[in-house]
Every structure is written in structure tokens, then in C-alpha cells.
Structure 1
Amino acid sequence: MADWNATSPPTSGWTPVRLPDIWTTRWPTHDGVVWYRLRWHQAQADAPVGLLLDYVCLADAVYLNGSLIHRDTNLVEPLSRSWIKPQYFLIDRPLLHQGENELLVRVSGLAAYQPAFGSVTVGSPPAVEALQRTGLRWRYDCQLFNLAVGGVLGSLFGIFWLFRRQDVVYGWYAFSALVFAAYSYNFIAYRIWPFATTDGWQALNAALYFASASGFVVFLLRYCGRRKPSFERTLLVLNVVALACALAWPERVGPHRNALVVGGGLLYYTAIFVFIVHAARTRRTDQRMLAACLLIPVLTSGHDFLLFFGVIRGDTYLLALTSPLTLIGMSSVLAHRFAAAVRRVENFNVELRLEVEVATRDLSSTLAREHALALTNTRIGERLNLVRDLHDGFGGSLLSTIATLEQSPPTPETARIVATLKELRDDLRLIIDTTTQEQSADLAGLVAPLRHRWSQRMDVAGVASHWRLEGVEQLHLGPARSLDVLRFLQEALTNVLKHSGASKVELVMRRDPVSLRAEVRDDGCGFDTAAHAQGMGLASLRARAQRLGAMLELRSAVGEGTTVSLEVPLHESPPVA
């Protein structure tokens, strides 16, 4: 042992030790310098040899045969950190002596941070250098790769979070990964700038580890869609207190960093085990994948905790070897989650576009229907105005003329004129009936006024009339077609009164799925259809049938009555509401 300012080894007090050696097992509270002296016999000094110091904690100066061959930058506070890499030297003459050679290593360390001196290897340069490269790869390069992966992935998902603030899972993952990357810098840092003491450096590292564990817990909570406000506030308070104490009292927090490390480790383990149980219960594929990734640090961190607390000896932390796999696996799960969210947004956009197109078509159709309805209503209004004018003007004049002629002395000419005027009156009534009805009026409603008038007329003429309507309720033919059907019935009934001499007439209207059949039968005198093909109003009936696209059928024989039927195809459009 020696004090901080010792520049030469002591002359007495040497104690034999077995390497690797942690001096706190011998001097638990010693902060300062310990000298290690090693001697070996070199049979031949003609060729250089390789010298490897596997592990030195914290800083060292190396002397070979009394000559300084290496010295760390800071052998007093703020101490350099030689333990991050193995030290390799190529030794040749004149430093290398044939026979006995003496190696002195001055180690500066602090009892709170496991001061130690590792194994020493002397041998052929290629073999010793290979050992140095292996140690460098596992102890330094892996830590550097781990820090780089964590920093890159944390930054990447931090950018994701900046663009998707509502998805806080990425923000908490980025926070945890970046803070852990800052903590991991401890394993590759040669200097402890900007801190003046190792205590300050170690206190901050412990606070960063605890903060990373806290962020990781909240990340898993958010990934499960959970919030624990009181627990999260407690974590925030603990982190603020830990960081404040680390910055304000580093000389106390640094040597007792194990409390924060144990607390952070418990947070990590508890969060991982609870999440694994949750993933097993929910059976979500992404959560199971994440749980599998989290099993890796659980299996390796036990070794690292034992090494950190000095329970076992070694110089390689396994978590640095497996942490990149864990980070990449977790990032893959989060990337899958992000891609799924993007796909959902894309699908939503597609669905939204389709819905907009459908809505646009529906709106266009609605506007077209409203426009058509407005035109129809305008036409109906014009018709109603025209009908009112006809009813009030022409209709009144017509009825007045008929009444005047009926009161005048009867003559054949007067009777003929009155009959013609009454036909005009009946036709006017049909026009008024079909025009003034609502657009949605069915055929049964339109036939009712006609039936009433003609039933009275048949009774006056002594003709028994029978009307049978089947299935014409809710049948809408439209004003024009309905008027043609009613005119057909009216002309057929007029022919019965004028020409048949019948005592009984039957009118049947029947609807089937594809057509409407209207039929008028009488028991009158009948006629020869071949001889009267163009007479008795038949030409007018045929014209109406042609306009309706219907089929007209006439059956009659002398003394056997007459049957006139009309079969109208149903191509009507539904009424406009």
C-alpha cells in the first residue's frame, strides 16, 4: 500500500497475492495506491515478447526493469479508467533482459469501486496480442456496439414519437433506451469529464440506471395500455430525488450507488416478470414476441449483478453481449406495431375515400332526385293551375251549356250536341281526377271516382253493374298511363250504354306479377267483329292500347254479348316521395 503521491515502490511490506486480486478483500477501506511486483525468467531475449495486463482498476503506471512503459493520464482524482481495455505491450531489448525481469504496476483505486489488478500474460507476441484483441472485443467493442445500437434505436423511436405524440409507447421506449445508452457510456469512458471526482461520475451513472429502469417500467405499462398515476408519480419523485442527491452530494451517493442499482434492478425484474405473465394471459402475438425478447436480459443479468457486487470474479459483463439482441428484438416489435398502425391508417384512408365516393354518389343521386322532384312538383303545380282554370272556366261553361240545352225543346240535333258535350264533360273529369291526385295515388284510388259516376249512370239506364278489383292497391302507373287506362274503361263503358242494349255489365281489373288486365263484359246484343273492325270506337281503343304498349283483345258475337280486355305490361317506376 502507498499514498496517492507515491512515485516509487515501497522497500518493505510486500505481501504475496494470487492474481486476479481485489485489494478490498485485504484492505476494505483503502483509497489510494497499491503496488504490484511480478518477476519472470526470460530464457532468450533475442526476440521481442508480448506483455498483457488483462485488467487494472482504476488507473495505473507500468514499469519494466525500472523503466516506465505506460502511464495513465490521471493517477489521482479525477482518475483515469484503465479497466475498460486490456493493455498490451511489445517488449524488446534493451527493456527485455535475458534472465530475470521485474514488472512493477502502480494501481490507483478507490475502495468503493472494486479496485483490482488482473492476470498478467507474457509470451509470443502473436499469441498474447490475440488474447488482447479477444479481450478488447468482448469488453470494449461490444459495449461500444451496445451503446451505438441503443442510441440509434432510441433516437429513431424518439423521432417516431415526435411525429406521433399520441403514441407515447415510442416516447417512453426512446427515453429508456437513450438514458440506458448514457449509462452504458460508463463502460467505454476513459475519462470522467466533466466531473472532478469518481464519486460524482458513479453517482450520476447510478441515477441514470435508476431512471432508465423507471422509464422501462412506464414503457411496458403503456404497451399494455395501462396507466398507474400514483405509482408513476412515485417513480418521478424518486428519480428527481436520486438525481438531485447525485449532483448535490456525490461523495455520499457515489460510494453507496448500490442502493440505486439494486432499486433499478428490482424495477427491471418486476416489470419484466409482470409483463411476461400479462402476455401469456392476453395471447397477443406482439406482446409474446416482446416477452420473449425480454427473457434474454433476465437470463444474463444475474451474472452481471453478481460480478458488479463482487460475488464472482471476472472482467466481462454478459449483458453487453446480449443487450443489442434484446434492443433489436424490442425495436422490431415496436416497428411492427408502427407498421401495423400505418397500415391501419392507410386502410382507413382507403375506406374513407371509398365512403366519400359513396357519399358523393349518394349526394349526387339525392340532388338529382331532388331536382327531378322539384321539376315534377313544378309540372304538377302547372297542371293543377291548368286544371283549376279548366274546371272553373271551361268546365263551368260546359256544364252551363249542357243544362241550357237540356232545358230547351228537344230536337235530334240538340240531343246529339248534348251527348257530345257530356262525353267532353266525362273526359274532363278523368283529366281532373288523374291530375289533381297526389303523385303517389294508386290505381284503386283513381278508379273510385270513375266507378262512382258510372255506377250511378248504369243504374239510371237500368243496367246492373259489377266491379271487381284485384291487387290494384298500391299499383302506381303514373298520371299519363293511369289516364289512358281510365279512358279505356270509360270508352268501353260508353260503348256498352250506346250500342250493346245490355242489362248487365261486369268490369274486372286484375294484377299479376308482370301485367295489369282490365276487362269489360256485357250481355248485350253483340256484333260481328269482322264487319265492324273500325267502328264503334274500336280505333280509339286500339290507339290507347298502342300508346300503353298493351295488348287489346275483343271478343263478340251477335246475340252473345261483348268482351273487351286490355293487358298492360307493368313497367311503372316507383312513386317519388
Structure 2
Amino acid sequence: MAQANTCEANIVQVSAALSAAELPTEVTQWQNINLPDNWSQRWPQHSGVAWYRISWQAPCAAPNISMALYVDAISMAGAIYAEQQLLWRDAHLQEPLSRSWNRPRMLTLPPSTPNQAIQHLYVRVSGDALNSPGMGALRIADVDTISALQQNKQWQHRTLFLINAILSASLGLFCACIWLLRRQETALGWYVLASLAWLAFLYNLLATETAPFPNAKVFMQVHISAFVLYTLCFCTFTWRFIQHEAPRLQLGLCGYCVLALLGIWASPAHLQAAVLACFFFGCVLILSVNSVLVTVWGWRSRELASRLLALTMLACIALGLLSLLAYLRVFTLPSNLVAYTSLLLTVFMALILAMRLTQSLQRIEAFHHELGNKIRETELNLTASLAEQHTAAVKQMQTQERTHLAHDLHDGLGGALIRSIMVLEQADEPVDNAKNLSILKLLRSDLRQIIDQFSAEAANIPATPVVWLAPLRHRYVQLCESMDMSVSWEVAKAWHTPPQAAHCLTLYRVIEEALTNVIKHSAARQVNVRFYCDVQCLYLLIEDDGVGFDVAASQQSGISIGMNSMRTRVSRLNGQLTLHSEAGCTRLEVSVPLTLDKH
């Protein structure tokens, strides 16, 4: 048994007794038992205190070997004595009890003489009938051996579940964020609920105190209720994930869970332990059957994610079977392999989320590439469209310029030709060369004025209206006097607001066209021309006592080029032109605002 630094004690006898005594010397009526021990099999419905006595002997002769005690579990709280010496005790030995059933402990024993008589350890246990009260496996050996054993059991009983809880909480929180942003992801919503229920279930495996619950009974009821809710949420998650419609199964599962919760919280005290065990193992059976069904349904699906879930559930089934066979001692394997199933599911969910993220990034990249192609295609189409619009605009501008040029030629040069023809016709004798030269110079001046109008924005504005209309007045006064026609001019002395060149040119052409029409068609004897202005508008009034004409008929016939020209020019400046004519009176009124429309 003994080697250089190794020693394994012999457990001679293990006894137990029901007693609420505070010290081991007060305990009597011991009965022999075997560890691990669940006293509910021996003392049914007992909730309270029991004592355990371990008689042992160390056969090691080396005096430098320190011995240690390993206790696998105490359910729920306890205190350990070496003979009469207290080695350790839980913080709370009364309700709400401390929880030592999930905390493998290592205690160094006091020095003892090798090969001495039988030594005794006493363990005082406070337990509850619903929580498998009693004591787990026990071992006495050298410190190094017990330390290695305690670290191994610490990993299996606590660290593994702590890692599980951290991963489940992290992944559940991540899935909750996704579900809050995309409510249509109902499978993720059920996974979040399953994660919350699983964390509540794991709390029983990690908590070291019964508080904040009032006693161990309520703690166990909450623990089993969390497992029932986890069963409902996890099964629903798997069905939603593989998109398998199972309304009858869903309804039956919901009914079972409601019945289980009612039984857990409403069953009589003497039936509580049986009810809790019944519904707990019922949920284990449901999860096992669901794993088989989801494996079959998921594998039949052609989706990669569903098949991955099927493989994960198959691995969970395999771990569960191996754990069962290890528990039944068919194989020599750790019996807690089933604890790795939740880690497998966590890894599966992380893999699924990574796959979905990768697919989303690939779709975004494809969309970005397609969007870039669409943008380039749109740019080409827009360039072609702008080119077409530019060509159309150029053509429209050319057409407008031709129209303007035609109007100017008609109103300006045409009027000048008519005046010259009338002068020649009214001459009593042949016109000499000097007179003809003067007429030609006037025609050239009118033509130059038409050409210069395209730079009208840069033209100089006459200082006063009188200066502006002086050349026109001089021409028509001579022509009208030769035809026995009297022309009176009433012109404003100054500008209230300086006009633009476009105003002056437009009104100049209107006066030319109007007077030309009077001379050609009216047979008038008296013509009155009045021009005045204010801060906002320019006003023109031309009135004669001629024969008049039908204004409406002239507009409908469309043959009056001069009238149309005048209207077009005035409308270009947002002005108003009104014409009234009857026998003995023809009146033309024009008003032009001094603010040009930039459009």
C-alpha cells in the first residue's frame, strides 16, 4: 500500500445515526451503511440532521506523509470532525441551508501515528427529503493524491457547468439581440427562452447557498420548474429551427408542462418527492424522444443547418447512452458525459450563427457588386440621356433663335422696308441718290440692331426714355407727316427704376410694329403715343382714330404675324398686352414688369 510519498487509508467501517446532537460524543444507536448514502431509502420523509461515523486506519509507516480527506458531496450542509476536533463546517446548518452537495471538498487531517488503532471521522449532515439527503463517496489518502482527485472532481462537478453557464448566457444574449432586431426569427426567440430556463436550472448546480429562497424545498421546486420550462422551450426551438410543423405535439407538450408546474407547486407534502421525481424524469424522457425525432426530421431536410442540428442531437444521444452505461457500470467511463451535451448545443448555435453571418456578408458583397454594376449602367444611361437632352435643348434653342430672328426681321427690318417703300411711293418726283443712300443706311442700321440684340444683356441703357425713343420718333414723325397723319408723343422724362436692355428692345419693337400697322392699315389722321413708368413697371399706350379691325377674327385666323410677334415679345418678359379696336378708335396697352423671370 505504501510507497515513497503515497498512502491510501483503509476504511474499516461506515455507520450512520439519526440524531440532532451538536457533538459526536452525544450520538448513539449507530447502524452500519455503505457510501455513497441516501438516507431517504432508510429513513423516508426525514428532513433534518443525521450523523455519519467513518472508522479508518492508515497503514503507512512514513512519518513525513500528510493525510487528507476527500468528500465528494454532502447533501445539503454539514460539519466534519476528526475525533472531537472540528475540521470544517458550512456557513448555514439550518434553513436556509448551505449547499455542499455540488462542492467536492479536500480537508487535511491532523497528524496521526502510523499503524495506530482505528481512528474516527464524524460528519454532521443537515438535509431535506426532497434533495437526496445523505453523503457522497469518501476517500482518505496522502495530500497529493487527494488534491489531484479533488481537482478532477471540481472540473466535473462545477467548472464544467460554470463554463456551460457562461457560454449559454453569452450566446443567449447575442441571440436575444438578433431576435429583438428581427422578430420574425422565432426559432432564436425560443432559443433565448430555453437559455434563460437552462441558466435557472444550472443555478442549482452552482449555488452554494439556498438563499434567497426560504428553504431547500422551494429551491428544489424552482429547480424542477426551470427544467420543465427548458424542456418546453428547447423542444419548440428545435421544431421551429428545422421548420417542422407539429401542432399536436406542441399542444401536448404545453399541456404536460402546465400539468407538471401545477403538480410541482400544488402537490401534498408527503407526495412531493415522488411528484418531483416523476415530472423530472418525464422531462428527461421527452428530451430524449425529441432528440431522436429531431435527428430523423432534420436529416430528412435538405438544409445544411437542419442536418447539422440532426448530427448534434445524434451526438447528444450518444453521450447520454454512454453516461447511462457508465452509471450502470457496463463500461468504465465518466458518468457525467451527459453534461457535455449542452456544450455541444452551444457550439452548434455558435456555428449556425457564424454560418448565417458569413452568408449575410456574402449577400452584402454580392449586393454591393450588383449595385456597383447598376450604378455604372445608370451612369452610362444618364450620360446618354443627358447627351440626348443636350442635343434636344440645342435644337430647341436654335428653333427659338430662328423664331426670334424671324420676329426681329419682321418687326425691325420689315418695318424699315415698309417705311422706305412708303417714302418712295409718296415721293412726287424721282428720289435722288442721296435719298436712296439714306434709306439704305437706315436699313443697315436696323439690321445691325437686330444682330446686336443677342448681346442685349451687355447693351448700354439710354439715359432717359426721351433719349431712348428719339431715333424712332424722328423716323415716324417724318413718315406720318408725309402721309398727312399727325403723331403726338408723350414720353416720361426719367426712369424711376432703370430697365434692362431686354425691356427697351422689346418695347422698341412693339412701338415699331404698332406704328407700322397704323400706317399700313388704319387710314388714321391722329395717332397718340404715350410711354410712362413707375418703380415696378413700364407702360406703353398707342391710340389712333383709324377704321379699326376685328381683333378676335384676326387672332383666330393666325395671319397677323405682327400681332403674334408683339404678343410673343411681351409674354417673354411676363408682360401684359391688351388690344381694343372699333371704328374711330384702336387702343393698344402694354405693361411690362421690371423684374425678369430667370427661368
How far apart are 1:37 and its partner, in Å? 0.8
Alignment correspondent of 2:349: 330
C-alpha contact 1:203 1:253 (8 A) present in aligned 2: no
Alignment correspondent of 1:122: 140
- State how far apart, in whole Å, the 1-side matches of 2:247 and 2:42 are: 48
How far apart are 1:249 and its partner, in Å? 7.6
Cα distance change, pair 221–326 in 1 and its aligned pair in 2 (3 A): closer
Tell me how large the CA RMSD over aligned residues is: 4.0
In the alignment, structure 1 residue 217 sits paired with structure 2 residue 239: no
How far apart are 1:305 and its partner, in Å? 7.5
How far apart are 1:367 and its partner, in Å? 6.0
Q: What is the aligned counterpart of 1:172 among 186, 190, 197?
A: 190
C-alpha contact 1:52 1:87 (8 A) present in aligned 2: yes
Query: What amino acid does structure 2 have at the position aligned with 1:265?
Result: V
How far apart are 1:65 and its partner, in Å? 0.9
Alignment correspondent of 1:27: 43
How far apart are 1:156 and its partner, in Å? 2.1
- State how far apart, in whole Å, the 2-side matches of 1:307 and 1:209 are: 23
Aligned to 1:60, the other structure's residue is in SS state: strand
- Matched ranges for 1:511-526 at <5 A: none
In the alignment, structure 1 residue 299 sits paired with structure 2 residue 314: no
Most deviating of 223-232 and 203-212: 223-232
Q: What is the aligned counterpart of 1:156 among 136, 153, 174?
A: 174
Cα distance change, pair 240–308 in 1 and its aligned pair in 2 (3 A): farther
C-alpha contact 1:65 1:95 (8 A) present in aligned 2: no
In the alignment, structure 1 residue 77 sits paired with structure 2 residue 95: yes
- State how far apart, in whole Å, the 2-side matches of 1:79 and 1:96 are: 37
- State how far apart, in whole Å, the 2-side matches of 1:345 and 1:171 are: 24
Alignment correspondent of 1:401: none
In the alignment, structure 1 residue 275 sits paired with structure 2 residue 259: no
Once the two structures are superposed, residues 527-559 of structure 1 have per-residue CA deviations (whole angstroms, 9 ceiling, x without a partner) of xxxxxxxxxxxxxxxxxxxxxxxxxxxxxxxxx
- State how far apart, in whole Å, the 2-side matches of 1:133 and 1:216 are: 32
How far apart are 1:300 and its partner, in Å? 2.6
In the alignment, structure 1 residue 202 sits paired with structure 2 residue 217: no
- Matched ranges for 1:324-473 at <5 A: 324-359=343-378, 361-362=380-381, 365-366=384-385, 368-369=387-388, 372=391
Alignment correspondent of 1:572: none
Alignment correspondent of 1:569: none
C-alpha contact 1:173 1:215 (8 A) present in aligned 2: yes
How far apart are 1:334 and its partner, in Å? 2.9
Alignment correspondent of 1:318: 337
- State how far apart, in whole Å, the 2-side matches of 1:4 and 1:366 are: 100
Alignment correspondent of 1:286: 305
Aligned to 1:165, the other structure's residue is in SS state: coil
Query: What amino acid does structure 2 have at the position aligned with 1:319?
Result: V
Cα distance change, pair 307–209 in 1 and its aligned pair in 2 (3 A): farther
Alignment correspondent of 2:498: none
Aligned to 1:257, the other structure's residue is in SS state: helix
Q: What is the aligned counterpart of 1:6 among 12, 21, 26?
A: 21
C-alpha contact 1:55 1:86 (8 A) present in aligned 2: yes
Alignment correspondent of 1:506: none
Alignment correspondent of 2:71: 53
- State how far apart, in whole Å, the 2-side matches of 1:81 and 1:174 are: 28
In the alignment, structure 1 residue 100 sits paired with structure 2 residue 100: no
Aligned to 2:125, the other structure's residue is in SS state: strand
Alignment correspondent of 1:411: none
Cα distance change, pair 273–349 in 1 and its aligned pair in 2 (3 A): farther
TM-score by length of 2: 0.56
- State how far apart, in whole Å, the 2-side matches of 1:57 and 1:131 are: 20
Query: What amino acid does structure 2 have at the position aligned with 1:198?
Result: A
How far apart are 1:157 and its partner, in Å? 2.1
Once the two structures are superposed, residues 60-113 of structure 1 have per-residue CA deviations (whole angstroms, 9 ceiling, x without a partner) of 111111111111122222222111122211122489994331111112222332
Q: What is the aligned counterpart of 2:276 among 233, 236, 257?
A: 257
Once the two structures are superposed, residues 551-574 of structure 1 have per-residue CA deviations (whole angstroms, 9 ceiling, x without a partner) of xxxxxxxxxxxxxxxxxxxxxxxx
How far apart are 1:180 and its partner, in Å? 0.9
C-alpha contact 1:204 1:243 (8 A) present in aligned 2: no
C-alpha contact 1:200 1:254 (8 A) present in aligned 2: no
- State how far apart, in whole Å, the 2-side matches of 1:250 and 1:346 are: 62
C-alpha contact 1:199 1:254 (8 A) present in aligned 2: no
Instruction: Give unpaired runs (5+ residues) of structure 1.
Output: 385-577
Query: What amino acid does structure 1 have at the position aligned with 2:22?
Result: T
How far apart are 1:339 and its partner, in Å? 2.4
Aligned to 2:31, the other structure's residue is in SS state: coil
- State how far apart, in whole Å, the 1-side matches of 2:167 and 2:364 are: 29
How far apart are 1:257 and its partner, in Å? 2.3
Query: What amino acid does structure 2 have at the position aligned with 1:35?
Result: W
- State how far apart, in whole Å, the 2-side matches of 1:306 and 1:254 are: 26
C-alpha contact 1:60 1:75 (8 A) present in aligned 2: yes
Cα distance change, pair 26–237 in 1 and its aligned pair in 2 (3 A): closer
Alignment correspondent of 1:517: none
- State how far apart, in whole Å, the 2-side matches of 1:225 and 1:304 are: 30
Once the two structures are superposed, residues 135-178 of structure 1 have per-residue CA deviations (whole angstroms, 9 ceiling, x without a partner) of 11211111111111211222222223233333333332233223
Query: What amino acid does structure 1 have at the position aligned with 2:237?
Result: F
Cα distance change, pair 342–245 in 1 and its aligned pair in 2 (3 A): farther
How far apart are 1:359 and its partner, in Å? 4.4
Alignment correspondent of 1:137: 155
Aligned to 2:45, the other structure's residue is in SS state: coil
C-alpha contact 1:154 1:174 (8 A) present in aligned 2: yes
Aligned to 1:126, the other structure's residue is in SS state: helix
Cα distance change, pair 191–353 in 1 and its aligned pair in 2 (3 A): same
How far apart are 1:274 and its partner, in Å? 2.4
C-alpha contact 1:56 1:116 (8 A) present in aligned 2: yes
Alignment correspondent of 1:434: none
How far apart are 1:190 and its partner, in Å? 0.8
- State how far apart, in whole Å, the 1-side matches of 2:379 and 2:77 are: 77
Q: Percent identity?
A: 29
Instruction: Give unpaired runs (5+ residues) of structure 2.
Output: 1-15, 404-599
Cα distance change, pair 283–258 in 1 and its aligned pair in 2 (3 A): same
